[in-house]
């Protein structure tokens, strides 16, 4: 896994790694679904690398990137003279992946008319090249990926049910980054070091408020968007701390910021969030708004520093003097 730079430690990510280990050793088809940028391709590669097939090739084909008229010859190859311009016999991706793994990316874009031929190749492990009479036999493990809802496409008759069930033997759904925020600090640090090294810089730290903004953002483009944000941030950084400009363009959180009163009025505590806000605020006042370190509020509350900062932002907790106030748009009365 390390060679593939698969970063994460959240429960959801660890469950994903367990699934990779479980499915890698068998030849069953895997269908990876998830929003854009959630890591479908890296997970497909991880399955191949963890499988006995790693001695052979992983051949990838992006069904959305190739014109539908060429997909069939790309998949299955063609004989010389099969069509105008077919000057020599050509091996398709299926044959190239023999004894290895075929990664069919963006499988939702596979044209309906090609789906029966793919189904036959998967089920019977045999196919013919375009313009050829010989039946070729291959031993290919297929991993497919899509960011479309393939189940819904089947209901809408945009994708064949038989092929869907053939591919969906072992489904893996990758959670969006906003559902595993615990992974954001690790990923951010990883990308920071990666891009700092690439750009010949030495950047030691991500400032608290930058990290909190990273953790709070919803990341619709998921890990790819986070990676790009850190790369841009590293470009803008001149000193040892990741530039605050890294997160300045990110939309602010939706929680209405509230100014923490000197002490919470018990009558104002109605919801669980009110109680959490009051308890965190009281602890912060005790520590004189020191968040990190052995005597800081995070340690007292038994939370990682970054989790506490994210909670503070979500609950709208900030002090007049705290630098955390930088996130908030509303003035403190």
Ligand X SMILES: Nc1ncnc2c1ncn2[C@@H]1O[C@H](COP(=O)(O)OP(=O)(O)OP(=O)(O)O)[C@@H](O)[C@H]1O
Minimum CB distance to Mg ion, residue 42 (Å): 9
Q: How far apart are CA 178 and CA 296, in angstroms?
A: 27
Report the Cα 110 to chain-centroid distance in Å. Answer: 23
Angle at 206 between CA 201 and CA 208, to 5 degrees: 160
Q: With CB under 6 A as the contact rule, which of the stretches 1-9, 65-73, 165-173, 256-264 interacts with ligand X?
A: 1-9
Q: How far apart are CA 156 and CA 150, in angstroms?
A: 10
* x-or-dash string of contact with Mg ion, 206-245, rule CB under 5 A: ----------------------------------------
User: Helix, strand or coil for residue 145?
Assistant: strand
If the CB atoms of residues 44 and 242 are measured against Mg ion, the closer one turns out to be 44
Q: How far apart are CA 313 and CA 258, in angstroms?
A: 10
Minimum CB distance to ligand X, residue 42 (Å): 4
24, 29, 34, 47: which one contacts ligand X (CB under 6 A)? Answer: 34
Local structure of residue 177 (DSSP, 8 states): G
Q: Identify what 77 binds: Mg ion, ligand X, none; CB under 5 to 8 Å per kind.
A: none
* x-or-dash string of contact with Mg ion, 28-57, rule CB under 5 A: ------------xx----------------
Q: Identify what 104 binds: Mg ion, ligand X, none; CB under 5 to 8 Å per kind.
A: none
- Does residue 176 interact with ligand X by CB under 6 A? no
Q: Identify what 42 binds: Mg ion, ligand X, none; CB under 5 to 8 Å per kind.
A: ligand X
Sign of CA dihedral 111, 116, 117, 120: positive
Q: With CB under 6 A as the contact rule, which of the stretches 40-48, 236-244, 257-265, 292-300 interacts with ligand X?
A: 40-48
CB 50 within 8 A of CB 21: yes
If the CB atoms of residues 146 and 328 are measured against ligand X, the closer one turns out to be 146
Structure tokens at 270: 């109605």
If the CB atoms of residues 37 and 253 are measured against ligand X, the closer one turns out to be 37
- Does residue 37 interact with ligand X by CB under 6 A? yes
Q: How far apart are CA 262 and CA 316, in angstroms?
A: 15
If the CB atoms of residues 45 and 277 are measured against ligand X, the closer one turns out to be 45
- Does residue 18 interact with ligand X by CB under 6 A? no
- Does residue 9 interact with ligand X by CB under 6 A? no
- Does residue 149 interact with ligand X by CB under 6 A? no
User: Helix, strand or coil for residue 132?
Assistant: coil
9, 25, 28, 36: which one contacts ligand X (CB under 6 A)? Answer: 36
Comparing CA positions, the residue from 46, 268, 314 lying closest to residue 172 is 46
Report the DSSP beta bridge partners of residue 258. 317
- Does residue 227 interact with ligand X by CB under 6 A? yes
Sign of CA dihedral 153, 154, 155, 156: positive
- Does residue 104 interact with ligand X by CB under 6 A? no
Residue, CB closest to ligand X: 39
* Exposure letters 274-310 (e unless 16+ CB within 10 A, then b): eebbbebbebbeebebebbeeebbbbbbebebbbbbb
Q: How far apart are CA 187 and CA 293, in angstroms?
A: 22
Comparing CA positions, the residue from 268, 331, 278 lying closest to residue 301 is 278
Give one DSSP letter per residue of 41-79, joined into a string: HHHHHHHHHHSGGGGS-EEEEETTTS-HHHHHHHHHEE-
Q: Identify what 7 binds: Mg ion, ligand X, none; CB under 5 to 8 Å per kind.
A: ligand X
Q: How many chain residues touch ligand X (CB under 6 A)?
A: 16
23, 39, 94, 172: which one contacts ligand X (CB under 6 A)? Answer: 39
Residues that bind ligand X (CB under 6 A): 5-8, 34, 36-42, 147, 223-224, 227
Residues that bind Mg ion (CB under 5 A): 40-41
């Amino acid at each position: 896994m390390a060679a593939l730079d698969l970063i994460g430690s959240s429960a959801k990510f660890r469950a994903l790694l367990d699934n990779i280990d479980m499915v890698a050793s068998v030849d069953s088809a895997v269908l990876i679904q998830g929003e854009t940028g959630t890591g479908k391709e890296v997970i497909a590669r991880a399955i191949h690398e963890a499988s006995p097939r790693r001695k052979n090739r992983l051949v990838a084909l992006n069904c959305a990137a190739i014109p539908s008229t060429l997909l069939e010859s790309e998949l299955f190859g063609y004989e010389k003279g099969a069509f105008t311009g077919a000057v020599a016999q050509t091996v398709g991706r299926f044959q190239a992946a023999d004894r290895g793994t075929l990664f069919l990316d963006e499988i939702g874009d596979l044209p309906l008319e090609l789906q029966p031929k793919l189904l036959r190749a998967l089920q019977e492990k045999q196919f013919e090249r375009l313009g050829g009479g010989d039946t070729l036999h291959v031993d290919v493990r297929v991993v497919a990926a899509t960011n479309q809802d393939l189940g819904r496409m089947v209901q809408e008759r945009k994708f064949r049910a038989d092929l869907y069930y053939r591919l969906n033997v072992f489904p893996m759904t990758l959670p969006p980054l906003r559902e595993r925020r615990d992974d954001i600090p690790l990923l951010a640090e990883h990308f920071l070091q990666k891009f700092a090294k690439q750009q010949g810089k030495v950047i030691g730290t991500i400032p608290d408020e930058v990290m909190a903004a990273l953790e709070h953002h919803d990341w619709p483009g998921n890990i790819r968007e986070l990676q790009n944000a850190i790369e841009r941030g590293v470009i803008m950084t001149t000193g040892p701390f990741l530039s605050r400009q890294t997160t300045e363009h990110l939309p602010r959180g939706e929680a209405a910021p509230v100014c923490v009163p000197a002490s919470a009025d018990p009558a104002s505590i109605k919801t669980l969030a009110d109680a959490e806000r009051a308890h965190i605020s009281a602890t912060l006042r005790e520590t004189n708004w020191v968040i990190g370190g052995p005597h800081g509020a995070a340690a007292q509350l038994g939370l990682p520093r970054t989790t506490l900062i994210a909670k503070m932002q979500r609950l709208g907790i900030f002090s007049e003097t705290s630098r955390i106030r930088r996130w908030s748009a509303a003035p403190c009365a």
